Structure 1
């Protein structure tokens, strides 16, 4: 290091003026100091500086996910109050699912363009306003329209929350943070039927939307105060062509999965939607490989640990949502339970997940993802196989046991699998990884339910035919007439046989779902093991 004329230390790479007082030589050119390199990640935040922001994120995530399961319980009440048909009222859920899926791919760009904190606050405010409008709706058309408005922030919130989490939490603490964050992802669907059943039975369906209003207001205020502000990239262009193709693909796929049960899986509308989804997805991939700023960076699929985590998450999602959908349906249709009693039966498995999921996050920070994931998948598969023994005379204790075993495995495995997959991605594509992860959960749950529904319908038809053939000649025709006319006489017998058929069909579906989950244990053994390295770089803040 040398002294310059002004007494400051000159940089080694800067030209030094060595002329004397009478030296007429021209001054050597002074090279400009090199610009500091753009950091790939912000400095790691203090270990104690992310607890309150994480609580804010959990609140927003819990509210958006809870809305999915709690609304389904209220569908019959909404139908009665608004005088709607079964086919029409189902669009309350279908329109939400379609819009939510279409919005997920745009999440990464929105976060970069407007800044993650600003976007999160705006999403919470919009979700709250849409919830209030849903509660004030007096007609089905208006309610469906406001549900679409509600789904716009509902689709973007999960990706935004996860991206912020990966920005603010040190890598060595990601497991603990994701364990807490998982309360919004997994526990909310479990507690939704219980809360929804209570509210519908003791108040009105409007309350299931109104409860979002105070939570949303407090959540927006808390986010404005405690969330870290991330710089935006106002000049980042939007990939309209890529977004158009992925949106069309997701819309076609989700609509086919939602309506295939009603239209028929061989119906030309269903087949054309599946074909369109495949064609649009192929076009999307071609576009994303040639644009400078893709709406979703498909380079995430170059990383096997991330792809492996997607496969495992899909397997667990199929089992979880199959149980959450079919067990309540069985309890109310075959055993005649009220929505509230049905929700109470589902409550223990939600409590098991709430208690164990933070522990699983801490376990990930100590031993990595492999063993929590393997043990978790084994328990999930075993729990679903226990539920495959379902029959019309099954006790509440037997159902609770199967669901609690499944929930224990879900709590141990889900967040370690997700964290292990996302943590291997380079910082620049973590936001795309979060979006792909969310998409995979949505699509796999819809695909799993569609496959289970098709299987249940096929098995139900076969089981009903087998049982009808054992009755006296003409009994089958009489049973059908009793079902259509709702008359007494043989109707109790028909209901008993229908319950047995339904249970047998569900049993077959649960057996397949449980077996597939157990196969996933093999893939879990390929996940990384050992304590995650501390101090690794995190993505650029947006």
Structure 2
């Protein structure tokens, strides 16, 4: 028994280290976009695809995690995902043009999209259920800190040795990790010849890409027929057909039966609403600081940095508290801090001090940090006999809802501002109205917690 636990823990550690490195790759290139634009002589609209393409592919790969764990050995999955990421990093390092760089980022994202959700599945299978909150807190802290510090660390490296060096560092780190994985990873779960339903895969890709691409394009293209409305319609129709097909075939790509459990459904809805507001905030806050309050991009980053660090800390603290006092109380606290944070944002003015904005963002960040990991862990625990599909459903919903949140927050603020966010009273009011919408969503989340979130999970099964 101890040998199995040791084997499981060593495997889990390798997965978590790999997940931290791969998650850092998501945001690290943002600081190098200006250098990439200069080197390849391209516009910012084209250059941003090195980031957007990564997010899109990540969203497509997450729903496949349940299939991978049923079909392939854990070690095979780990080595395949790391190898893909290594190949993508090397291509990015030598990329002669933007097309090659985007291709490299897509290959990296395929590796990340395979590994990140499966790390959670390995955690849920290795760690006893009564310790899930503690280890998910640790996982959330590690996964949160990597992308948070990546842009800053990446900026320093890029300033000294150029953006290509970032990808060489990733390649070297992953090469070392592959060698370690070959020696250390010995844990395996039961697998079999689980078939891949091609029709479901096509519908899944169309649904994820259509919805995420359409909503992501709203900020830049408005409600353009080709770039926004058409992808969203295609995505929505594909999603309906995908769901219908999963319930109608014997071996679905993603078993959606967990959604019939009302506690799992509303737990997933809670985490999705929280993620919606978090992603929306990440877009409208810099917009306010730079376009309305007329501060620099550096100040905009400084306003959010303390809140980001606080949220990462509470990603760890939240699950610990849930383990001590119960998840329901923690999620109620999360909602209260979130509601108060967004209501305080309604008090912002053109001349609001940077210190005041930092302080109020910290209040909101405490709510976000307290809520996400405990909610996700509780939701999976409700259907603990099916962690593969439950994890894939939960992660996919959050990824799609997050993309929608980022886009709709900007659209709402622009609509409230009369189409132009600038340094004027109308835009200040628009920011306050958008913040109120976020606060209302947090109130809805509080109602969900009060009605559906229970401390005693086993009584719900």
Contact preservation (8 Å) 1:195, 1:343: no
**Change over 3 Å in CA distance of 1:45–1:516 after alignment to 2:** farther
The answer as to 2:74 corresponding to 1:116 is yes
Residue equivalent to 2:284: 326
Structure 2: distance between partners of 1:46 and 1:361:
25
**Change over 3 Å in CA distance of 1:330–1:125 after alignment to 2:** farther
The answer as to 2:361 corresponding to 1:436 is no
Tell me the CA shift for residue 149 of structure 1: 1.0
3-state SS, counterpart of residue 423 of structure 1:
helix
**Change over 3 Å in CA distance of 1:116–1:451 after alignment to 2:** same
Tell me the CA shift for residue 299 of structure 1: 0.3
Residue equivalent to 2:439: 514
Structure 1: distance between partners of 2:3 and 2:262:
29
Structure 2: distance between partners of 1:133 and 1:121:
18
2:131 corresponds, among 173, 188, 199, to 173
2:417 corresponds, among 444, 460, 473, to 460
The answer as to 2:222 corresponding to 1:264 is yes
Query: Which of the pair has more CA radius of gyration?
Result: 1
2:450 corresponds, among 522, 525, 536, to 525
Structure 2: distance between partners of 1:326 and 1:445:
14
Contact preservation (8 Å) 1:158, 1:438: no
Equivalent residues in 2 for 1:157-196, closer than 5 Å? 157-196=115-154
Residue equivalent to 2:87: 129
Equivalent residues in 2 for 1:44-123, closer than 5 Å? 52-123=10-81
Residue equivalent to 1:448: 405
Structure 1: distance between partners of 2:38 and 2:347:
34
Tell me the CA shift for residue 296 of structure 1: 0.2
The answer as to 2:337 corresponding to 1:337 is no
**Change over 3 Å in CA distance of 1:462–1:338 after alignment to 2:** closer
Q: Which residues of structure 2 form unaligned runs of 5+?
A: none
3-state SS, counterpart of residue 193 of structure 2:
coil
Tell me the CA shift for residue 44 of structure 1: 9.6
3-state SS, counterpart of residue 511 of structure 1:
helix
Structure 1: distance between partners of 2:284 and 2:165:
25
Q: Which residues of structure 1 form unaligned runs of 5+?
A: 1-42, 465-496, 538-542
Deviations 1:297-348 (A, max 9, x none): 0101011121111111111112212222333444455534354x54444332
The answer as to 2:340 corresponding to 1:415 is no
- Greater share of residues in helix: 2
Tell me the CA shift for residue 256 of structure 1: 0.9
**Change over 3 Å in CA distance of 1:368–1:47 after alignment to 2:** farther
Structure 2: distance between partners of 1:58 and 1:519:
33
Tell me the CA shift for residue 95 of structure 1: 1.9
Residue equivalent to 1:247: 205
Deviations 1:97-131 (A, max 9, x none): 22222222222112222212320232123213312
Tell me the CA shift for residue 451 of structure 1: 0.7
Residue equivalent to 1:139: 97
**Change over 3 Å in CA distance of 1:462–1:262 after alignment to 2:** closer
Structure 2: distance between partners of 1:348 and 1:151:
28
Contact preservation (8 Å) 2:280, 2:408: no
Tell me the CA shift for residue 216 of structure 1: 2.4
